[in-house]
Amino acid sequence: MNKVVCSVHVAVLAFPFGSHAAPLLNVVQEIASKNPRVKFSFLSTKRSNESIFAGIIHHNIKAYNVEDGLPEGYVPSGHPIEPINLFVGVMIQNFKRAMDKALAETHIKFTCLLTDAFLWFAAEMAKEINAKWVPVWTAGPHSLLCHLMTDFIRDQFAADAGNENIDFVPGLPVVKASELPEGIIDDIEQPLSSMLHKMGQTLPKATAVAINSFAELEPPIVNQLESKFRKLLNIGPFTLALPQPNIPDDQGCIEWLNKHDIGSVVYISFGTVIIPPPHELVAIAEAIDESGFPFIWSFRGKHDEQLPKGLLERIKDKGKIVSWSPQVEILKHEAIGVCVTHSGWNSIMECMVGGVPMISRPFFGDQKLNTRMMEGRWGVGVPIQDGVFTKEATLAALKSTMSSDEGMLMRQKISEFKKSAKRAVETNGSFIRDFNTLVEIVTS
Q: Which residues are catalytic?
A: 20, 116
Cα separation of 312 and 295, whole Å?
Answer: 13
The residue type at 394: T
CA distances from 365 to 140, 255, 261 (A): 12, 35, 35
42 close to 48: Cβ distance less than 8 angstroms: no
Cα separation of 239 and 243, whole Å?
Answer: 8
Q: Which helix (H) or strand (E) holds 65?
A: strand 61-66
Q: How far is CA 27 from the centre of its chain?
A: 14
Helix 430-443 / helix 21-34 crossing angle, nearest 10 deg? 80
209-227 per-residue burial string, b: 16 or more CB within 10 A, e: under 16: bbbbbbbbbbeebbebbee
Which 3 state secondary structure label does DSSP give 44? strand
Q: Which helix (H) or strand (E) holds 201?
A: helix 191-202
Using CA atoms of 374, 405, 295, 379 in order, give the dihedral in degrees to the nearest 10. Answer: 0
List CB contacts of 391: < 8 A, sequence separation 6 or more: 283, 286, 287, 290
Helices (H), 296-429: 303-306, 309-316, 327-332, 345-354, 367-372, 391-402, 405-424
CA atoms within 13 Å, Cβ hemisphere of 39:
19
334 close to 356: Cβ distance less than 8 angstroms: no
279 C-beta neighbours (distance < 10 Å), count: 10
3 C-beta neighbours (distance < 10 Å), count: 6
- The alpha carbon dihedral of 19, 387, 175, 356 has a sign of positive
Burial of 144: CB neighbours in 10 Å, binned 0-12, 13-18, 19+: buried
